Amino acid sequence: MDLEQLRKTAAEVVARDDVKYLIGWKKGSYGSRVAPAFVEDAASVIELIFSPSCTANLATYLTLVEKTPLPRGQETDKRKVALMAKGCDSRAVVQLLVEKGIHREDVIVIGCPCPGMIDQSLLAGKYGDTEERSEVRWNGKDFTLVRGGDEIEIPRNDVLAEKCRLCRHPNPVISDYLIGEAVKEWDPAEDSGVGELEAKDVDGRGDYWEGQFSRCVRCYSCRNVCPLCYCQDCILDRLNPTWINRAVNFSENTAFNISRAFHLAGRCIECGECERVCPANIPLGKINRKMAREVREKYGFEPGLDPDAEPFQASFKPDDPEDFIL
Ligand code: SF4
Ligand code: SF4
Ligand code: SF4
């Protein structure tokens, strides 16, 4: 990544009168972690970075921050928001456009071709979890961890995030500015997680998910981080009728997780954020990727690629035989 080009572009964008701020990444305060940066003026673009630690999908802020209720008397800020977006993040932007969750004229996409991101838990497991400031860099084929004056070469597959092993779209699918050159795409790995589940019989799958969903603490981090979980009136918050009871037990936890998976069918862009933030380490990606694969293989549809596409769950074919309707 050409940081100079990124910062120059960012400075140009935030200097515009019709731009509110740019959402990107900056160095964090713990180990090699990074933090979201809300850059409002050209002087602050120096904070911006793009590194293998920028795993998070910042597209969620387009609906999380921008749609909050305003204090009485406060006018809506109609200026554009600029967003740094990797391939998966850009797919979230496209899906939001398809659903009219955001409008094209309200967002400026700074496309960041992505060579693959690290999984911080894999890094911590192999190289220790330490507060000491460090940095992970791409070094062509693999990664380099720069810590305490040492440079440690890390084989790519030791710490590559699962979503990146499986990635089919590392280059931004939509952008107003592209930083650097498109990366060469790689063959996605076999999805062994979904494959193992498919190999189980119905009882085996039931036992597997009972073991997983029983551990859910209903913190709703998965919902809150998801760029496509942005309904203002979420089924989970409803009291009358109470679609999903607040009791934390296997039955209600399953109702929650299954409802969420179905609400994301044909919409999830496989950014892996829900699984990344789950404090119970529930492999939510397996559900989402299974649903995505079904939609891809059975209906030939992949969300977040075409801003002019029909929303999957809101489209039909007039000549659909509809044999299932009695
Ligand atoms: S899923 Fe693809 S675009 Fe997203 S972080 Fe991984 S390699 Fe980059
Ligand atoms: S993030 Fe994990 S623990 Fe929290 S509600 Fe979602 S599945 Fe349950
Ligand atoms: S369900 Fe998970 S993987 Fe899919 S878009 Fe939402 S956060 Fe990303």
Contact 45, 7 (CB under 8 A): yes
Residue 326: its pLDDT value, please?
Answer: 64
Q: How far is the CA of 138 from the centre of ligand 1 (A)?
A: 14
Residue 90: its pLDDT value, please?
Answer: 98
- CA nearest 24: which of 51, 2, 63, 64? 51
Whether the full predicted model's pTM is greater than 0.75, yes or no, is yes
Q: How many domains does the chain have?
A: 1
Mean residue pLDDT across the chain: 93
The residue whose CB lies within 8 Å of the most ligand 2 atoms, and thus the one to mutate among 209, 220, 249, is 220
Q: Is residue 293 domain-resident? A: yes
Residues in the ligand 1 pocket, defined by CB under 6 Å: 86-88, 114, 116-117, 161, 163-164, 167, 170
In percent, the amount of the chain with pLDDT more than 90 equals 82
Q: Is residue 325 domain-resident? A: no
Residue 65: its pLDDT value, please?
Answer: 67
Q: Is residue 179 domain-resident? A: yes
Domain ranges, residue 263: 3-67+79-117+161-313
Give the lowest-confidence range in 52-66, 85-99, 156-170, 291-305: 52-66
- CA nearest 12: which of 59, 82, 65? 82
Q: Is residue 153 domain-resident? A: no
d(CA 326, CA 323): 7
Q: In what order do the strands lie in the sheet with 150-154?
A: 134-138, 143-147, 150-154
pLDDT tens-digit readout, 207-236: 999 999 999 999 999 999 999 999 988 888
pLDDT tens-digit readout, 83-118: 999 999 999 999 999 999 999 999 999 999 999 999
Q: Is the pLDDT of residue 68 over 70?
A: no
Q: Is residue 138 domain-resident? A: no
Q: Is residue 12 domain-resident? A: yes
Contact 47, 212 (CB under 8 A): no
Query: Which atom of ligand 2 is least distant from the CA of 284?
Result: 7
3-state secondary structure of 97: helix
Q: Is the pLDDT of residue 273 over 90?
A: yes
Q: Is residue 245 domain-resident? A: yes
Model confidence band, residue 58 (pLDDT cutoffs 50, 70, 90) = very high
Q: Is the pLDDT of residue 66 over 60?
A: no
218 Cβ closer than 6 Å to some ligand 2 atom = yes
Residue 203: in which H helix or E strand, if any?
helix 202-213
- Closest ligand (CA of 182): 1
Q: Is residue 95 domain-resident? A: yes
d(CA 310, CA 293): 18
